[in-house]
Chains A and B, each alone.
Chain A
């Protein structure tokens, strides 16, 4: 079996769970613990990538450059990654991240729009970064379409294509189908990023690995959009139980999860924010295929406008919203509440 690489996204996707409030102190401590556990790639930044800080999807307390520097200076072995979503982040952001010591660029787009990533993928390759094409919400398109989009990213120079199941909507048999389709048609490796809205993050990740995925994303304590991501420490334990090859140390990753919990507890505002869980809102989001990053905006809008969050989620699913349409959450909540 091919070597399996675990990519930890706590310090990026996890930001969705805490309203983008990670501080340089927290990310430095967590990154050091992940590094010590043998995690090879650590992703950091705003939940929607570098350049994501905005009123629209949440402002970070410090510029992303400070988060990157904090992580770069606390790791010894791990490579530091950023996500970049063209339309938010620009090539300038990519260049700045590179200058700060980032060596992995994950260039992301909604799963049907790969042609907006060409310039960014090419720049990352030119800079000598390990370059990943990242297809968000891939369950919203057919396996055939995902193959076409992955081929585009491959042609631009992506070194692996990461399939992000951003809604926690697919079940293991479906995940397998996509990974098989890609393995048959593209020459670069495949990665998988799961969410737990239907309680299937670990199951889907194992299904992807069984189908030949060589990279798998996880997040400590499952921090991340919706019901959270595939929990890294659970993933490591499950991979070891299933005899899948991983070099990440189990005790080390459990320690890292404990470091994250302690750091969040120390922070007066963050200590109060509940950890992501498979709660009713998250289940509805998985069921209706709604992007995980909307979990807190949905909870907030439903409370503020007094509408049923389930109805709100169903409406968002019907409108086929993609990542970063947080404004539609407010628009629909106001509509349901009868306010224009």
Chain B
């Protein structure tokens, strides 16, 4: 299969980690890494690996002409400006910023619903690690209320998250309802500065209608975990779902693949891995679409 030509917009930590992941992909061809800072370490690494780079951001992407999909790893404000221009150029946008121009996607839960979109958003790391668990429980017994607690290492909490921490809790909680299926929700983030840095961990509490078949819930959650592991190998359920009064408790941790970001930064890895998964699914349908048009 011919690989889908893609670009990475943003040469910070996330953009650089994406670069290593795209490089490994059998379905994606990295055409360009677009930054704005000529002195950026990410751009230097991209050049070292033999990738084309530019320092005028979105302009370079639009100039290229071949690119069909862009990973936007800049900032919410930048993505708001990029989104209409990418759409006009018929370039699919995988948005890793909190801009949320397009619908939120969790690959294992709702990606199929958005096959005709031109812009999708990855929500938050907490959502990527928690919403699938809520959805898995909700499939067995309606979740009346779900609560997610994401604990990340201080070193992996970037300035964007820190300066706008309310946004993290709000968007994560919203996706727990809209995508996970919970009727009500609350999301919490805790930052831990321990050295060596802690691995990202998430706890999901789900209040369900009783009585409930505990084994079915457990099987559903563990099956979901297997699906997540297909694209996030470091995802692991550390406390299997158990019923405590009116709610289930489930804990997981996410060890990063260590592509560029350190392995403790599972919170960043799960979002870049989800982005690659979305792009690969798009690449498959893109070529299928082409084929159908030619038939």
The reply to whether chain A is a binding partner of chain B is yes
Interface residues of A (CB under 8 A from B): 54-56, 86-88, 90-92, 110, 112-113, 115-116, 118-119, 140-141, 319-325, 327-328, 330-331, 334, 340
Residues of B within 8 A of A115 (CB): 159, 162-163
Complex A-B: 13 CB contacts under 8 Å:
A54-B205, A56-B188, A56-B205, A87-B189, A90-B170, A110-B193, A112-B193, A113-B193, A321-B192, A324-B149, A325-B151, A325-B190, A331-B238
- CB of A180, distance to nearest CB on chain B (Å): 23
Residues of A within 8 A of B157 (CB): 113
Asked if B292 is at the interface (CB within 8 A of a chain A CB), the reply is no
Please report the total number of B residues contacting A with Cβ < 8 Å. 32
A56's partner among B149, B170, B207 (CB-CB below 8 A) is B149
Whether the Cβ atoms of A331 and B251 lie closer than 8 Å is yes
Whether the Cβ atoms of A110 and B194 lie closer than 8 Å is no
Q: When each residue 33-53 of chain B gets 1 if its CB lies under 8 Å from chain A and 0 otherwise, what string results?
A: 000000000000000000000
Residue of A nearest to B196 (CB): A320
Asked if B169 is at the interface (CB within 8 A of a chain A CB), the reply is yes
Residues of B within 8 A of A55 (CB): 147, 205, 207, 247
Q: When each residue 183-199 of chain B gets 1 if its CB lies under 8 Å from chain A and 0 otherwise, what string results?
A: 00010111111100010
Residue of A nearest to B159 (CB): A115
Whether the Cβ atoms of B147 and A56 lie closer than 8 Å is yes
Residues of A within 8 A of B240 (CB): 340
Asked if B166 is at the interface (CB within 8 A of a chain A CB), the reply is yes
Complex CA gap A322/B194 in Å reads 9
Asked if B64 is at the interface (CB within 8 A of a chain A CB), the reply is no
Asked if B116 is at the interface (CB within 8 A of a chain A CB), the reply is no
B191's partner among A56, A87, A119 (CB-CB below 8 A) is A87
Residues of A within 8 A of B188 (CB): 54, 56, 87-88, 324
Whether the Cβ atoms of A322 and B190 lie closer than 8 Å is yes
Residues of A within 8 A of B220 (CB): none
Whether the Cβ atoms of A86 and B165 lie closer than 8 Å is yes
Complex CA gap A110/B169 in Å reads 17
Given contacts A55-B147, A91-B166, A340-B238, 4 further A-B contacts (CB under 8 A): A56-B149, A112-B154, A325-B192, A328-B151
Task: Give the residue among A55, A110, A115, A340 with the most B Cβ atoms within 10 A.
Answer: A55
Whether the Cβ atoms of B186 and A87 lie closer than 8 Å is no
Residues of A within 8 A of B163 (CB): 115, 118-119
Complex CA gap A46/B49 in Å reads 52
A86's partner among B166, B186, B249 (CB-CB below 8 A) is B166
- CB of A33, distance to nearest CB on chain B (Å): 33
A340's partner among B147, B162, B239 (CB-CB below 8 A) is B239
Task: Give the residue among A86, A87, A319, A320 with the most B Cβ atoms within 10 A.
Answer: A87
Complex CA gap A323/B151 in Å reads 11
> Within residues 74 to 102 of chain B, which ones have a CB less than 8 A from any CB in chain A?
none
Whether the Cβ atoms of B193 and A90 lie closer than 8 Å is no
Residues of A within 8 A of B291 (CB): none
> Within residues 200 to 218 of chain B, which ones have a CB less than 8 A from any CB in chain A?
201, 203, 205, 207
Complex CA gap A251/B249 in Å reads 47
Complex CA gap A320/B199 in Å reads 13
- CB of A338, distance to nearest CB on chain B (Å): 13
Residue of B nearest to A114 (CB): B162
Residues of A within 8 A of B186 (CB): 54
Whether the Cβ atoms of B247 and A87 lie closer than 8 Å is no
- CB of A158, distance to nearest CB on chain B (Å): 16
Whether the Cβ atoms of A113 and B149 lie closer than 8 Å is no
Whether the Cβ atoms of B239 and A119 lie closer than 8 Å is no
Residue of A nearest to B161 (CB): A116
Asked if B164 is at the interface (CB within 8 A of a chain A CB), the reply is yes
Residues of A within 8 A of B238 (CB): 331, 340
Residues of A within 8 A of B162 (CB): 113, 115-116
